[in-house]
Structure 1
Amino acid sequence: MPALVPTEFFPAGFVRDSARYILARQQTDGAIPWFDGHYADPWDHVEAAMGLSIAGEFAAAEKAYRWLADNQLPDGSWWVAYKNGRAHNTERRESNFVAYIATGIWHHYLISGDEAFLRRYWPVVERAVDFVLGLQTEHGEIHWAVDTDGRPLQDALITGCSSIYKSLECALNIAHRLGCSRPRWMHARRALGFALREKPQRFDRTWESKARFSMDWFYPVLTGVFSGAAARARLQKKWDEFVVAGLGCRCVNDEPWVTVAESCELTMALLAVGERGRAAKLYRGLHRWQDRDGGYWTGYVYRDMAIWPEEKTTWTVGAMLLAADALAGLTPASKLFTSVRLLQDPALVALS
């Protein structure tokens, strides 16, 4: 746990209490379900594990990554959900869920400095990334999932592909740190970024647009797809559509519902564009939704003045810890979601 914990952005004991909440939900095999009695999914499991790393709970975080390694399928993927020690939903495997392990492994290494850990999980990351890039089209976007039999479900999500874009940055940094050259991954990341910026027609082709979701708005900023003036303009364009003054960020633009995790992620996106004042103001207000056990309620319906759903998800607590780190600089991983840093050779970085 960080030795010096500033209290400007969060209450005293916040880091300790948040970690205890996640630890109390973690199962003996290392899985971190959403909450007691619910399932775990690979993406949200990693989000909670990153919270444990920030709190200095290295053994528990590494146990979480070991669970992923133990459950990785031969093709490098994971099913969409697990419960009670086995796969709970085998209808599909989602590409952004699979890729996110690279972000988690790199995040833990940045904090722990443990190169043996990085080397141990390199084969897991490599298989996961190769699975994901097998779903990339000639246009650059990445199919969102495969079905039970491994057939691609052929469409792409802006939020999902943006998350993959950050995961590819982390995967490339792992490869570089271990002396492994992966130019194909760099080319794939470049093509994905170009598709996200310049080919909007390649997303939401077979279903209703996801533009009503706030994550489609800010995730391309959070993950470094957009930066500088373009990123600032993107956030400003829909600020009034998604942000409720004094409460937080809506999950969708047509419901009176603010959610804590989206507000945390928007906090980090604001930091990425230099809007530190806005970020701090948004984040400070989220602590009103912390319960006595250290957990945070998922969301709040302000029209009804009611907590909803009545769930305290581990990934929400993970997001609270990530945003706290980004604001207060608690760990060496504090800038992971507020900047892009590729440790590749200059010739390859020029392709990014």
Structure 2
Amino acid sequence: MKKLIVIMIIPASLLFFGMAQAFGGAARDYITIVGSSTVYPFATVVAENFGKKTRFKTPKVESTGSGGGHKLFGAGIGINHPDITNSSSRITKSQLKKDFSNGVKEVVEVKIGYDGIVVANSRQSPVFRLTRKDLFLGLAKQVPVTGDTGALQPNPYETWNQINPSLPDTKIEVLGPPPTSGTRDAFMELAMEAGANTFTWIVNLKTIDNKRYKIICDTIREDGAYIEAGENDNLIVEKLIKAPEALGVLGFSFLDQNTDKIQGTFIDGVQPTFEAIADGFYPLSRPLYFYIKKAHVDNIPGMRSYLAEFTSENTWGDDGYLTAKGLIPMPMAERQHYRKVAEQLIPLTLDDLN
């Protein structure tokens, strides 16, 4: 008697469904995206266009902050975890190692363009002109003692003109993002550390005592001069309108969309404009990213199509619809590189991160 051998081919989607059931959930037929409040407006526009142009459901996009997004994204594999996280700062080695330890073994990095960190104020007040040294002295918890080297004191400055006589005699009041924000991370590196580096003895600490160096540069004063205004940059815009003498730290795109209400501060003599950021002249410019969970790509409907939409020239190109929203496009060679990374789902390695 001949034996009948039955071979069952199980689609990957059913395997993923089984995994979802193991986690106590149900199959998910839409993409979930978390992360940066700066990238949020761009991702939302792409998601809406994607939903209109394809047969797939519009992705669910949440603004959780870059830090919060990485934490949610890297917590595990399966439908209870996000598929993509947006970020206004590059993932760190420690974050990627944590992802690996939680079973998220293949993470794909896509740079989407550039943004500037803006220090803005209400159009009801004069335009500010600050240096990065001014920002450091205005916002650091401890600042160098005048005329001394290696000595610090609790920040004594209450008004901007106490720091620099050319600045207005107004109270130091800056509304900005919390520590979980990628905008805050980038501001600390591009503004606070650069400002601290104008002091030779602080620069030398970087190689002698890096821990002390980071504490000096990255510890914000807690006496009310810096006010954490949440992850939502639109909220900072609203508060600046109500407090004309205050300054706010936010992404360039939010300035670009609200030029009738707020204006950008000159930093080291450079005005935050699209052209200055694109050319690299503006000192507080930074790249923006999103990160893809490769294990989810062929198990969540529409992910490949969403990636194709985001990385198309009509979206992030020189004349793409994201440019109209304030995104600074990458050069063509960079766009081609990251389009290839998204298409081939090339994972990030620890060696890729400095």
Greater relative contact order (Cα 8 A, min sep 6): structure 1 or 2?
A: 2
Question: Is the structural similarity TM-score above 0.5?
Answer: no
What TM-score comes out, normalization by structure 1 length? 0.26
Larger CA Rg, structure 1 vs 2 = 2
What TM-score comes out, normalization by structure 2 length? 0.26
Select the structure that is richer in helix: 1
Select the structure that is richer in strand: 2
